[in-house]
A and B are shown apart, each in its own frame.
Chain A
Amino acid sequence: MQELGSFLEVLISGLLAGVLYSLVALGFVLIFKASGVFNFAQGAMVLLAGLALVRALDFLTRLGFPGWLAIMLGFVFAALVMALCAFLVQRYVLGPLINQNALTMFMATIGATFVIEGVAQFVFGSEVYPLRLFPTDAWIAAEATFPGGILINKLDVWGGVIAGLLVIALALFFQYTKTGRALRAVADDHAAAQSVGIPIDWIWFVVWLVAGLVALVAAAIWGTKLGVQFSITFLALKALPVLIIGGFTSVPGAIIGGLIVGAGEKVAEVYLGPFIGGGIEYWFAYVLALAVLMVRPQGLYGEKIIERI
């Protein structure tokens, strides 16, 4: 019983951590679906959103605003910053590249990454800023069944709930709205999309804005966990295996991929670690991704690509 209890504890904490990976991966999927571009700048956007949020909170709290009002205004400010970022990226980075190939645009987002990181730290500072939005203590569950019970972090649960809601909203948005259909159209063919009267400028702004807001949510949760700091941009790297496993074009895929990575690396760390040495958490996700690439290159939920030769 003890065995099972500790296994469940590891698994649950892994799954919930995985949800947070999914959040970052979601931002990538959104932009990829709507422009066929792998957005290298997603990690930088999480940093920008986090810094804007935490600095606004500090500022408002110092002015003596009550907690809840400061939090609301802080989120509004950070959302506006992300909207401005989306506007500038669309106007000056992607706008001039309409009808260019995806690799060109990918390179452009690498450029955007450095600018966003630089400007974010220049404007908002480059230290480690603690963020306290969600409770960070833990529950002990199912004490009656398992000796010692199962430890569950409240923050992870919050993350899970929020990510779940986001995914439902985004899935509805993509599947059922004309904007969603327009987004998919733009990803497939710019010229054709323009010819039926889809305003590409506007669609891209919307996509980057939504990706920016997802980055803001990810920043709020990750920031509470780790503090808002530069290393948050490396989260983007953790999102890569998640995307490869789930498929670049699938919102549910990002979630499932995140869960698999989160649970896989925790379980491997605990049960495989003692045999082959610790630190498995740092590379296990990439091995999983490699395995998926060999068997199913489009990812679990990706669109299968059939090329005529």
Chain B
Amino acid sequence: MSSMSAIPTMSALASTSEILLAVENVTLRFGGVTAINGVSFDIRKGEIRAIIGPNGAGKTSMLNCINGFYHPQEGRITYKGETRQRMRPYVAASQGIARTFQNVALFKGMTTLDNIMTGRTLKMSANIFWQMLRLGPALADEIRHREYCEEIIDFLEIEAIRKTPVGRLPYGLQKRVELARALAMQPDLLLLDEPMAGMNLEEKQDMCRFIIDVNKTFGTTIALIEHDMGVVMDLSDRVVVLEYGRKIADGTPDDVKSDQKVIDAYLGVSH
């Protein structure tokens, strides 16, 4: 394997104080339903930020706002110092926001490798004519990107399923391929929507290890939604808690764990 030269190595780094993404007073409505109601929080460069909350709290809607699938009616989202009214998914992707989905969204008919290669779409440059002939600049381009994808495949330990159509893979591996595709984009901000849902203990441990490795080796900032509290408390630097579209707590895992509102939200409270 060629060295990881293409990948910026920022070992030893944990979160910094620089703010990568700031969400201010964001409100998102679908007709009469308010999915997110005046929520503000920020994500610091290099940290692992968890977004938690009961079902229907607006967590996935929040990710969808950040990467431009939804456009909030009110509020502002500032990414890399630039404030946008409406983020388009294409712009989000080209500015380094990658994501995975709650209910695995892979290209089922394509192989693992091809799926991961789609993550390189925005980085490929050779023109269509050369691409069709697989000659000249296109061939060099394809090889370069293929090499990068192979590094990711090594990293996530999915060599054995490289040529398997992803529709045939078990769920846990599909989630891993989805992570691989997102990593192929060399993202600055990685949004993970329930990366461990539906996994067994062993698969969860693997996934935890990969998330930490991604954060430490590539210096990627990660925002993740997860229901497994043990995982959230272990992984994340800071946690934001949503309930019914509102923010009810924000802070370190320890702060959040002992917050009365959070305990009420999760355990229920008698009125």
Tell me if A195 and B98 are in contact (CB < 8 A): yes
Complex Cα spacing A191 to B124, Å:
21
CB contact between B118 and one of A169, A173, A193 (< 8 Å): that residue = A193
Complex Cα spacing A195 to B187, Å:
11
Tell me if B124 and A194 are in contact (CB < 8 A): no
Tell me if A176 and B132 are in contact (CB < 8 A): yes
CB contact between A192 and one of B107, B133, B168 (< 8 Å): that residue = B107
Report if A63 contacts B (CB, 8 A).
no
Q: Which residues of A contact B181 (CB under 8 A)?
A: 196
Q: Pick the interface stretch among A120-128, A180-188, A239-247.
A: A180-188
B122 to chain A: closest CB distance in Å?
Answer: 4
CB contact between A184 and one of B92, B110, B133, B168 (< 8 Å): that residue = B110
CB contact between A176 and one of B107, B120, B134 (< 8 Å): that residue = B134
Tell me if A189 and B90 are in contact (CB < 8 A): no
Q: Which residues of A contact B196 (CB under 8 A)?
A: none
Tell me if A173 and B106 are in contact (CB < 8 A): no
Report if A231 contacts B (CB, 8 A).
no
Tell me if A191 and B133 are in contact (CB < 8 A): no
A-contact bits for B46-69, CB 8 A (1 contact / 0 none): 000000000000000000000101
Tell me if A181 and B133 are in contact (CB < 8 A): no
Tell me if A178 and B107 are in contact (CB < 8 A): no
Report if B89 contacts A (CB, 8 A).
yes
Tell me if A177 and B93 are in contact (CB < 8 A): no
- Complex A-B: 23 CB contacts under 8 Å: A176-B131, A176-B132, A177-B132, A178-B117, A178-B121, A179-B128, A182-B118, A184-B109, A185-B110, A189-B107, A189-B108, A192-B101, A194-B89, A195-B67, A195-B98, A195-B99, A195-B101, A196-B182, A197-B90, A197-B92, A197-B185, A198-B118, A249-B109
> Which residue, of A177, A185, A194, A197, has the highest number of chain B Cβ atoms within 10 A?
A197
The residue in chain B whose Cβ has the minimal distance to the Cβ of A174 is B132
Tell me if A196 and B119 are in contact (CB < 8 A): yes
B198 to chain A: closest CB distance in Å?
Answer: 14
Complex Cα spacing A169 to B129, Å:
10
Q: Which residues of B contact A148 (CB under 8 A)?
A: none
Report if A140 contacts B (CB, 8 A).
no
Tell me if A306 and B167 are in contact (CB < 8 A): yes
Complex Cα spacing A188 to B115, Å:
11
Report if A143 contacts B (CB, 8 A).
no
Q: Which residues of B contact A191 (CB under 8 A)?
A: 69, 101, 105
Tell me if A177 and B98 are in contact (CB < 8 A): no
Report if A273 contacts B (CB, 8 A).
no
CB contact between A185 and one of B92, B107, B168, B185 (< 8 Å): that residue = B107
Report if B11 contacts A (CB, 8 A).
no
Which 4 residue pairs spanning A and B have beta carbons closest together?
A197-B93, A192-B105, A177-B131, A188-B107
Report if A147 contacts B (CB, 8 A).
no
B119 to chain A: closest CB distance in Å?
Answer: 5
Tell me if A181 and B117 are in contact (CB < 8 A): yes
Report if B85 contacts A (CB, 8 A).
no
Give residues 132-187 of A contacting B (CB, 8 Å): 169, 172-173, 176-179, 181-182, 184-185, 187
Tell me if B94 and A197 are in contact (CB < 8 A): yes
Report if A67 contacts B (CB, 8 A).
no
Tell me if A192 and B106 are in contact (CB < 8 A): yes
Q: Which residues of A contact B119 (CB under 8 A)?
A: 196
Tally of A interface residues using CB under 8 Å: 26
Report if B114 contacts A (CB, 8 A).
yes
Q: Which residues of A contact B114 (CB under 8 A)?
A: 181, 184
A291 to chain B: closest CB distance in Å?
Answer: 26
Complex Cα spacing A23 to B127, Å:
26
Complex Cα spacing A152 to B165, Å:
44
Complex Cα spacing A185 to B168, Å:
17
Q: Which residues of B contact A197 (CB under 8 A)?
A: 89-90, 92-94, 121-122, 185
The residue in chain B whose Cβ has the minimal distance to the Cβ of A171 is B132
Q: Which residues of A contact B69 (CB under 8 A)?
A: 191, 194
Tell me if B132 and A173 are in contact (CB < 8 A): yes
Complex Cα spacing A119 to B109, Å:
37
Complex Cα spacing A249 to B181, Å:
24
B171 to chain A: closest CB distance in Å?
Answer: 10
Complex Cα spacing A199 to B109, Å:
20
Tell me if A189 and B110 are in contact (CB < 8 A): no
Q: Which residues of B contact A181 (CB under 8 A)?
A: 110, 114, 117-118, 121
Q: Which residues of A contact B67 (CB under 8 A)?
A: 195
The residue in chain A whose Cβ has the minimal distance to the Cβ of B165 is A303
Tell me if A182 and B131 are in contact (CB < 8 A): no
Q: Which residues of A contact B106 (CB under 8 A)?
A: 188-189, 192
Q: Which residues of A contact B92 (CB under 8 A)?
A: 197
Give residues 279-309 of A contacting B (CB, 8 Å): 303, 306
Give residues 195-211 of A contacting B (CB, 8 Å): 195-199
9 additional contacts (CB under 8 A) given A178-B117, A188-B106, A197-B89: A173-B128, A179-B131, A181-B114, A185-B107, A187-B109, A188-B107, A193-B107, A195-B93, A195-B101
Complex Cα spacing A172 to B89, Å:
29
